[in-house]
Structure 1
Amino acid sequence: MNQPTTAHGGPDPDQDVVALLMAQHGQIRNLFDEVESTSGDARRDAFGRLVRMLAVHETAEEEVVHPFAKRTAEGGESIVAERLEEERKAKETLASLEEMDPDDEKFLPALRALRGDVMEHARAEERYEFAQLRRRAEPSQLAAMAKSLKAAEATAPTHPHPGVESGAKNVALGPFAAIKDRVKDALRKK
């Protein structure tokens, strides 16, 4: 069965979870660039979008992608355990960055360190997890996972919650964290 493709010939992110996640990794890289190249309110805004993107993206991966990879990938338990540890560390760093003023002189060095960790994590996901997803999942499974990922993102927390790095914990604690985060976001906008 052929997979739906985009006008550029690549897999359609709406029909392929790997293509969707790869596109999000590109968006995350672009947001890091934007945060680093701006200052003042523009940096605060870009950093807020980066925090939201990372929090939502990781939560959805933890709920949808990691459980599938754990069950089906060769060495899945180990691969997922390593990714979850990387995610926990990144959430801790991101949470500490949220406490800082983006114009503080310590902010950019800490952000650049986080960027290095996040990009290394993304490369590991792409190499060890996504490559096996592509080989082991049928196109219908990739499409169903893309749909599930989007649903998980719609209700995911918008800020990092270190220590909540599993699908089960996200399902149990995620809705409460998401409500708290979204209220906090709404109050910040006012």
Structure 2
Amino acid sequence: MISQGTEGSAVSSAETERAEAARLPEGDVVGILLNQHARIRDLFSDVKSAEGEHKRQAFDELRALLAVHETAEEMVLRPVAKDAAGQDETEARNREEEAANKVLADLEKMDVSSGDFDTTFARFEQSVIDHAEHEEREEFPFVVRECAEGKRKGMGTMLRAAEKIAPTHPHPGAAGSPMAQWTVGPFASLVDRTKDALKAAAPGG
């Protein structure tokens, strides 16, 4: 995977992630997560290049996608990855997410047009990208190797269900759109809604 650096390298990395996902079976949880990593990179670029209301919308979409992505990793991937990659590895990834979430909580309180937002957002982007690259190098390969395809697809089905509940699609648009309605409230509330969706999608949920 190509490391994050300039905006051009971010695009290359997103393309690499999508290519890696395309090599996996349809519905594979790792493929879905790789595509989400690519979309997260796209949204970081959107936020940095946008202004005004479009910048706020892109940031809200990023928050929504991160809520789905991180919650799915915590509830669906991590329990399996702990057996495949080891507890130390999964605990390290959880600590990275906790640290990034603290920065995100600060960002939510800021004016997206301010210089403080841009400075803090750059730090947040680096931590999220570093975290994603650790997962792709140190967690995903173990899951692909150690988990049967059927199990990975079952995990992917749960993740798809969460995606349907949380409208994580490009450019939410008007204030009354499903995305705008769903992203009301702090990041923690988005995570809670995603957890509810995943619990409902779980076998016997």
Query: Structure 1 residues 124, 101: CA separation in 2 closer, same or farther (over 3 Å shift)?
Result: same
| Structure-to-structure mapping, 1:170-181, within 5 angstroms | 174-175=195-196
| Contact 1:59–1:152 under 8 Å retained in 2 | no
Measure how far apart 1:138 and its partner are. 1.1
Identical positions, percent: 38
| Contact 1:51–1:160 under 8 Å retained in 2 | yes
Instruction: From 88, 101, 112, give the equivalent of 1:78.
Output: 88
The alignment status of 1:34 with 2:61, answered yes or no, reads: no
Counterpart amino acid of residue 29 in structure 1? R
Instruction: From 127, 134, 137, give the equivalent of 1:127.
Output: 137
The alignment status of 1:161 with 2:173, answered yes or no, reads: no
| Structure-to-structure mapping, 1:4-19, within 5 angstroms | 10-12=23-25, 14-19=26-31
Instruction: From 26, 37, 49, give the equivalent of 1:25.
Output: 37
SS across alignment from 2:110: coil
Measure how far apart 1:109 and its partner are. 1.1
Q: How many pairs does the alignment contain?
A: 160
Deviations 1:39-88 (A, max 9, x none): 11110110010111111110111000001111232xx2101100000011
> 1:167 corresponds to which residue?
none
Structure 1 window deviating more from structure 2 (22-31 vs 133-142): it is 133-142
SS across alignment from 1:69: helix
| Contact 2:40–2:65 under 8 Å retained in 1 | yes
| Contact 1:155–1:175 under 8 Å retained in 2 | no
Q: Give unmatched runs, 5+ long, in structure 1.
A: 1-5, 165-169, 177-190
- Structure showing greater relative contact order (alpha-carbon pairs closer than 8 Å, 6 or more residues apart): 1
> 1:183 corresponds to which residue?
none
Deviations 1:97-117 (A, max 9, x none): 011010011111111110000
| Contact 2:22–2:31 under 8 Å retained in 1 | no
Structure 1 window deviating more from structure 2 (145-154 vs 85-94): it is 145-154
Query: Structure 1 residues 70, 152: CA separation in 2 closer, same or farther (over 3 Å shift)?
Result: farther
| Contact 1:35–1:43 under 8 Å retained in 2 | yes
Structure 1 window deviating more from structure 2 (89-98 vs 147-156): it is 147-156
Q: CA RMSD in A?
A: 2.6
Q: What is the TM-score with the length of structure 2 in the denominator? A: 0.70
Measure how far apart 1:10 and its partner are. 2.0
SS across alignment from 2:27: coil
Q: Which contiguous aligned blocks of 4+ residues in structure 1 show a shift greater than 3 angstroms?
A: 152-159, 173-176
Give the whole-Å Cα distance in 1 for the aligned partners of 2:105 and 2:67: 10
